[in-house]
């Protein structure tokens, strides 16, 4: 059903923070989803909850192949503010120590089970939004991560069924305030400052990423390469992680699982590398795009 041009469904949330609407990223423009068909929910989370991603894909495909009806609302992508693809996710679940190369750099044994922690959903931020260094802690660094977005209510999911719970993927930056993270012993506060979870630029649907366990992943501060690895280094793969989490808590449409970061993290370097106001952080994953965030005080 896909035109020969290699049509890809990339869902974005665009507009002012807190008022983002679902859009389709089509080349250089963003088309409002509910302007293609008024029956579609106006938010990405709403589309996921209604189980209408496939409907959006076929409507969008028909719309693009057809007359591109003038009643649709579209804006130039470069003029829009993009939010987190699911800015109102119910939870953001992260994995610590889930890359073999990252465990090696810390001279730690790979964990026997996934190590889970949470970030406050209010930390979710757009792919080009600024990262603000909090006044309480200047030792802030970034982590390149592949994030999974859940597409349906998932509880006690078997590993073999777990990929059916995936709506799609996005790039994620797990920003951390390291002094607070260590000092509190609980990671929650140090990982949850506002702006500490840039993600996007789009939710790339599962069928567009044939093998999420074979993607190049990298981060840069300004021009300096920081991390460069592949998602094949993941210790616990995506179905394992979804199944494991779903034995403990119900995953809801729009929930974000950040699958951990590879080697090269700033705090573990010698000397350590932290973000400073004026820096630009770039996080990139093959096929998914890139986050470019300016750092401010
Ligand atoms: Zn992380």
Measured in whole angstroms, how far is the alpha carbon of residue 133 from the centre of its chain? 20
Q: How far is the CA of 74 from the centre of ligand 1 (A)?
A: 35
Q: How far is the CA of 7 from the centre of ligand 1 (A)?
A: 31
Whether the bond between 223 and the residue before it is cis, its omega within 30 degrees of 0, is no
Position of tokens 């059903």?
Answer: 1
Whole-model pTM: value is 0.95
42 or 37, which is more confident? 42
Q: How far is the CA of 85 from the centre of ligand 1 (A)?
A: 19
For residues 2-30, give the mean pLDDT: 81
Q: Residue 289: which H helix or E strand, with range?
A: strand 289-296
279 or 66, which is more confident? 279
Question: Which residues line ion ligand 1, judged by CB < 5 Å?
Answer: 143, 174, 261
For residues 44-52, give the mean pLDDT: 97
pLDDT in tens, 86-127: 999 999 999 999 999 999 988 889 999 999 999 999 999 999
Model pLDDT, residue 69: 60
Model pLDDT, residue 260: 98
Asked if pLDDT for residue 188 goes beyond 50, the answer is yes
Model pLDDT, residue 204: 96
> CA nearest 102: which of 188, 274, 230, 197?
230
Position of tokens 């649907």?
Answer: 205
Determine the Cα–Cα distance for residues 96 and 253; give it in Å rounded to an integer. Answer: 23
4 pLDDT band, cuts 50/70/90, is: very low
Which DSSP string do the residues of 223-268 spell out, in sequence order? Answer: TEEEEEEEGGGBSS-HHHHHHHHHTTS-B-TT-EEE----S--GGG
- C-alpha radius of gyration, the chain, whole number: 19
Mean pLDDT over each residue of the chain, to the nearest integer: 93
Q: How far is the CA of 285 from the centre of ligand 1 (A)?
A: 15
Q: Where are the alpha helices (DSSP H) in 155-237?
A: 178-184, 188-191
Positions of E strands within 49-153 = 74-76, 92-96, 115-119, 124-125, 131-132, 140-141, 144-150
Q: Are 240 and 114 in contact (CB under 8 A)?
A: yes
Positive or negative, the CA dihedral 177, 179, 180, 182 is: positive
For residues 267-274, give the mean pLDDT: 93
pLDDT in tens, 159-180: 999 999 999 999 999 999 999 9
For residues 276-286, give the mean pLDDT: 98
């Amino acid at each position: 059903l896909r035109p020969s041009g290699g049509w890809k469904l990339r869902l974005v949330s665009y507009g002012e923070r807190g008022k983002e609407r679902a859009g389709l990223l089509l080349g250089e423009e963003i088309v409002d989803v509910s302007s293609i068909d008024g029956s579609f929910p106006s938010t990405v989370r709403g589309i996921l909850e209604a189980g209408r991603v496939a409907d959006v894909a076929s409507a969008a495909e028909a719309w693009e192949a057809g007359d591109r009806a003038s009643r649709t609302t579209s804006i130039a992508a470069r003029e829009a503010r993009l939010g987190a693809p699911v800015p109102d996710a119910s939870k953001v679940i992260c994995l610590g120590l889930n890359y073999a190369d990252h465990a090696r750099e810390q001279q730690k044994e790979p964990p026997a089970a996934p190590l889970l922690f949470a970030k406050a959903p209010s930390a979710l931020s757009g792919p080009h939004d600024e990262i603000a260094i909090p006044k309480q802690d200047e030792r802030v660094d970034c982590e390149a991560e592949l994030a999974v977005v859940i597409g349906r209510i998932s509880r006690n999911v078997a590993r073999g069924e777990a990929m059916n719970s995936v709506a799609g993927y996005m790039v994620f930056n797990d920003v951390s305030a390291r002094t607070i993270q260590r000092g509190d012993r609980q990671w929650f506060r140090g990982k949850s400052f506002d702006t500490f979870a840039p993600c996007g630029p789009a939710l790339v649907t599962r069928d567009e990423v044939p093998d999420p366990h074979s993607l190049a992943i990298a981060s840069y501060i300004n021009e300096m390469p920081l991390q460069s690895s592949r998602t094949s280094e993941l210790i616990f793969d995506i179905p394992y992680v979804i199944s494991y989490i779903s034995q403990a808590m119900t995953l809801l449409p729009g929930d974000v699982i950040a699958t951990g970061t590879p080697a090269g993290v700033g705090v573990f370097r010698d000397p350590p590398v932290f973000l400073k106001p004026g820096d630009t952080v770039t996080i990139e994953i093959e096929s998914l795009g890139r986050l470019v965030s300016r750092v401010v005080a």
